[in-house]
Amino acid sequence: MVEYKSSDLDRTFTALSHEVRRSMLARLQQSELRVTELAEPFDMSLNAVSKHIRLLEAANLVTRRVEGRDHWISVNPEPMAQASAWIEAQAKFWSPRLHKLAKLVERKP
Protein backbone atom coordinates (compact mmCIF):
# COMPACT_ATOMS: atom_id res chain seq x y z
CA MET A 1 0.00 0.00 0.00
CA VAL A 2 1.47 3.28 -1.12
CA GLU A 3 1.43 6.30 1.21
CA TYR A 4 0.55 9.72 -0.13
CA LYS A 5 1.83 12.90 1.42
CA SER A 6 0.09 16.24 1.08
CA SER A 7 3.26 17.57 -0.54
CA ASP A 8 2.65 15.01 -3.32
CA LEU A 9 -0.73 16.63 -3.94
CA ASP A 10 0.98 20.03 -3.88
CA ARG A 11 3.32 18.92 -6.64
CA THR A 12 0.56 17.26 -8.65
CA PHE A 13 -1.75 20.27 -8.61
CA THR A 14 1.17 22.60 -9.33
CA ALA A 15 2.11 20.48 -12.33
CA LEU A 16 -1.49 20.53 -13.58
CA SER A 17 -1.73 24.31 -13.24
CA HIS A 18 -0.14 25.14 -16.61
CA GLU A 19 -1.93 24.71 -19.93
CA VAL A 20 1.26 23.55 -21.67
CA ARG A 21 1.76 20.72 -19.20
CA ARG A 22 -1.90 19.69 -19.28
CA SER A 23 -1.75 19.59 -23.04
CA MET A 24 1.41 17.45 -22.87
CA LEU A 25 -0.26 15.01 -20.50
CA ALA A 26 -3.29 14.81 -22.78
CA ARG A 27 -1.13 13.86 -25.77
CA LEU A 28 0.81 11.37 -23.69
CA GLN A 29 -2.38 9.47 -22.92
CA GLN A 30 -2.25 8.17 -26.50
CA SER A 31 1.40 7.12 -26.67
CA GLU A 32 4.84 7.87 -25.35
CA LEU A 33 6.60 10.73 -27.12
CA ARG A 34 10.11 12.10 -27.48
CA VAL A 35 10.97 15.53 -26.09
CA THR A 36 11.07 17.08 -29.56
CA GLU A 37 7.70 15.62 -30.44
CA LEU A 38 6.24 16.94 -27.20
CA ALA A 39 7.70 20.36 -27.98
CA GLU A 40 6.44 20.56 -31.56
CA PRO A 41 3.01 22.19 -30.95
CA PHE A 42 4.40 24.95 -28.76
CA ASP A 43 5.84 28.28 -29.71
CA MET A 44 8.62 28.23 -27.14
CA SER A 45 12.21 27.14 -26.85
CA LEU A 46 13.08 23.47 -26.44
CA ASN A 47 14.64 24.44 -23.16
CA ALA A 48 11.35 25.74 -21.84
CA VAL A 49 9.68 22.48 -22.85
CA SER A 50 12.47 20.56 -21.17
CA LYS A 51 11.74 22.42 -17.96
CA HIS A 52 8.03 21.68 -18.16
CA ILE A 53 8.86 18.00 -18.58
CA ARG A 54 11.21 18.15 -15.61
CA LEU A 55 8.41 19.59 -13.49
CA LEU A 56 6.02 16.84 -14.63
CA GLU A 57 8.73 14.32 -13.80
CA ALA A 58 9.21 15.82 -10.32
CA ALA A 59 5.48 15.38 -9.77
CA ASN A 60 5.81 11.76 -10.92
CA LEU A 61 3.25 12.44 -13.65
CA VAL A 62 5.60 11.26 -16.37
CA THR A 63 8.54 8.91 -16.57
CA ARG A 64 11.51 9.01 -18.91
CA ARG A 65 13.11 6.17 -20.87
CA VAL A 66 16.43 7.11 -22.47
CA GLU A 67 17.18 5.32 -25.72
CA GLY A 68 20.31 6.62 -27.36
CA ARG A 69 19.93 10.33 -27.81
CA ASP A 70 16.15 10.12 -27.60
CA HIS A 71 14.29 10.52 -24.34
CA TRP A 72 10.88 8.84 -24.47
CA ILE A 73 8.36 10.36 -22.11
CA SER A 74 5.31 8.45 -20.91
CA VAL A 75 2.46 9.38 -18.63
CA ASN A 76 1.95 8.00 -15.13
CA PRO A 77 -1.72 8.53 -14.27
CA GLU A 78 -1.51 7.55 -10.58
CA PRO A 79 -0.97 11.09 -9.20
CA MET A 80 -3.84 12.38 -11.34
CA ALA A 81 -6.08 9.70 -9.88
CA GLN A 82 -5.01 10.83 -6.40
CA ALA A 83 -5.77 14.44 -7.25
CA SER A 84 -9.16 13.49 -8.62
CA ALA A 85 -9.84 11.44 -5.49
CA TRP A 86 -9.06 14.45 -3.31
CA ILE A 87 -11.56 16.55 -5.23
CA GLU A 88 -14.18 13.80 -5.11
CA ALA A 89 -13.71 13.61 -1.36
CA GLN A 90 -14.81 17.24 -1.19
CA ALA A 91 -17.92 16.52 -3.19
CA LYS A 92 -20.02 15.06 -0.36
CA PHE A 93 -22.39 18.03 -0.27
CA TRP A 94 -22.37 18.95 -3.93
CA SER A 95 -25.43 19.06 -6.12
CA PRO A 96 -26.10 16.09 -8.40
CA ARG A 97 -25.33 18.35 -11.36
CA LEU A 98 -21.83 19.14 -10.11
CA HIS A 99 -21.23 15.53 -9.17
CA LYS A 100 -22.09 14.46 -12.69
CA LEU A 101 -19.88 17.13 -14.18
CA ALA A 102 -16.97 16.08 -12.00
CA LYS A 103 -17.38 12.43 -12.94
CA LEU A 104 -18.10 13.26 -16.58
CA VAL A 105 -21.28 11.22 -16.47
CA GLU A 106 -23.46 11.68 -19.53
CA ARG A 107 -26.73 13.47 -18.92
CA LYS A 108 -29.71 14.38 -21.03
CA PRO A 109 -29.25 17.57 -23.06
Partner DNA sequence: TTTATATTCAACATTATGGTTGAATATAAA
Partner DNA sequence: TTTATATTCAACCATAATGTTGAATATAAA
**Where does this chain bind its own copies (CB under 8 A)?**
6-7, 9-14, 16-19, 22, 25-26, 29-30, 77-78, 80-94, 98-99, 101-104
Q: In the 8-state DSSP scheme, what is residue 45?
A: -
72, β-bridge pairs: 34, 65
Minimum distance from residue 33 beta carbon to DNA (Å): 8
Q: Angle 45-46-47 (CA atoms, 0-180°, nearest 5)?
A: 85
CA distance 53 to 60: 10
Binding DNA (rule: CB under 7 A), the pick from 51, 99, 100, 103 is 51
Query: Is 102 near DNA (CB under 7 A)?
Result: no
Separation of alpha carbons 67 and 2, rounded Å? 29
32 binds, among DNA, its own copies, none (CB under 5 to 8 A by kind): none
Q: Measuring CA to CA, how many Å separate 55 from each of 51, 60, 102?
A: 6, 9, 26
- C-alpha–C-alpha distance, residues 23 and 3, integer Å: 28
Residue 44: contacted member of DNA, its own copies, none (CB under 5 to 8 Å, by partner type)? DNA
Question: Which of residues 11 and 52 has its CB atom nearest to its own copies in the complex?
Answer: 11
How many residues bind DNA (CB under 7 A)? The answer is: 25
Residues that bind DNA (CB under 7 A): 14, 17-18, 20, 34-37, 44-48, 50-55, 64, 67-71
